[in-house]
Amino acid sequence: MPPVPLAVTTSTKVDAAQLQEARAVAARWGLPFLPRRAKEGIAPWLGTKVEALLVVGGDGVTLWEPEGSFGFHAGMAHLRLMRLRAGEPDTFVRVAELGAGDSVLDCTLGLAQDALVASLAVGPSGRVVGLEKSLALCAVAGEGLRRYERGADACAVEVVHTDAREYLRTLPSASFDVVFFDPMFAKPKKAQPAFEVLRRFAEHAPLTAETLEEARRVARRWVVVKGARYTDDLRKLGLTPEPLSRFSDVAWGRVAAHAPAKSSS
């Protein structure tokens, strides 16, 4: 039989609570659960029994595949959150003009770095929804966010496993204040092995003008797009990059939402 695309198991140091949690993770994401004997390695499973595994342990949920592994961590978002709480500016927050009570639709959740920043910027009265097409990434981010101590000054990030292009079509016009895209860069810089694993699971389809227009319909204020600094990704979409620091390797663009049609009287 061909290997299962994705399954859930426990770490080697398993107890009753961890076993229960691993089964709950499998149930939340509709994945098979594979029991694991004490000290049984998963290397022989990868590529034969399963293509990839979500391993539930004391440190959270880690995605394993034959070439490596990665798990959820706040990363640079942690530093950005500290700066925001200290009253320092954040480029995403500035470009999107985020404020308390706003609603944000993150169409490319990934590991939720920007979604975490948005959740603090909009506060507990706001709303952040993150869309992720890759089930593996969605599960890692979703489980990581469940365990992350976001603080009482931030809202929870709602995680949805879906194709953003299809999801946008189902939404009424002017559903969110800001719609955000951070497409995977087409020309990656050298990165840590864990990020290379992430890239293999991520959605690589470029943002199209059609999807951007649909996002403008759904947005009330802005559609914000992040791109690589030394590419013309933003200009291809008709976006003018925002002024940025010479030390930044990313570029930001935005386009206004479509004005609602005026009703005739």
Is residue 110 domain-shared with residue 14, that is, in the same domain? no
Is residue 148 domain-shared with residue 26, that is, in the same domain? no
Cβ atoms of 165 and 218 within 8 Å: the answer is: no
| Structural domain contains residue 264 | no
Q: In what order do the strands lie in the sheet with 7-10?
A: 7-10, 53-57, 60-65, 68-71
**Residue whose token pair is 């927050």:** 93
Number of compact structural domains in the chain: 2
- pTM of the model as a whole: 0.90
Identity of the amino acid at 213:
E
Digit-coded pLDDT (tens) for 109-162: 988 999 999 999 999 999 999 999 999 999 999 999 999 999 999 999 999 999
Q: In what order do the strands lie in the sheet with 157-161?
A: 157-161, 127-132, 103-106, 176-181, 219-228, 250-256
Is residue 22 domain-shared with residue 80, that is, in the same domain? no
pLDDT reported for residue 68: 86
Is residue 89 domain-shared with residue 202, that is, in the same domain? yes
- CA separation for the pair 164, 129 (Å, rounded): 11
Is residue 101 domain-shared with residue 13, that is, in the same domain? no
Is residue 150 domain-shared with residue 89, that is, in the same domain? yes
| Structural domain contains residue 265 | no
| Structural domain contains residue 247 | yes
Is residue 57 domain-shared with residue 164, that is, in the same domain? no
Does residue 241 register a pLDDT over 60?
yes
Is residue 140 domain-shared with residue 193, that is, in the same domain? yes
Does residue 265 register a pLDDT over 50?
no
- CA separation for the pair 95, 117 (Å, rounded): 13
- CA separation for the pair 115, 110 (Å, rounded): 9
Q: Which residue range(s) make up the domain with 20?
A: 7-66
At 168, which CATH number? Answer: 3.40.50.150
**Mean pLDDT, residues 64-84 taken together:** 90
| Structural domain contains residue 150 | yes
Last residue within a domain, chosen from 15, 32, 66: 66
Is residue 114 domain-shared with residue 236, that is, in the same domain? yes
Is residue 56 domain-shared with residue 130, that is, in the same domain? no
Last residue within a domain, chosen from 47, 66, 85: 66
Please state which of the ranges 65-69, 93-97, 158-162, 164-168 shows the lowest mean pLDDT: 65-69
Query: 217-245 as b/e, with b when 16 or more CB fall inside 10 Å?
Result: bbbbbbbbbbbbeeeebbeebebebeeee
| Structural domain contains residue 122 | yes
Question: Which three-class secondary structure state does DSSP give residue 173?
Answer: coil
Digit-coded pLDDT (tens) for 175-230: 999 999 998 655 445 445 556 666 677 766 788 999 999 999 999 999 999 987 76
Last residue within a domain, chosen from 41, 66, 91: 66
Is residue 103 domain-shared with residue 223, that is, in the same domain? yes
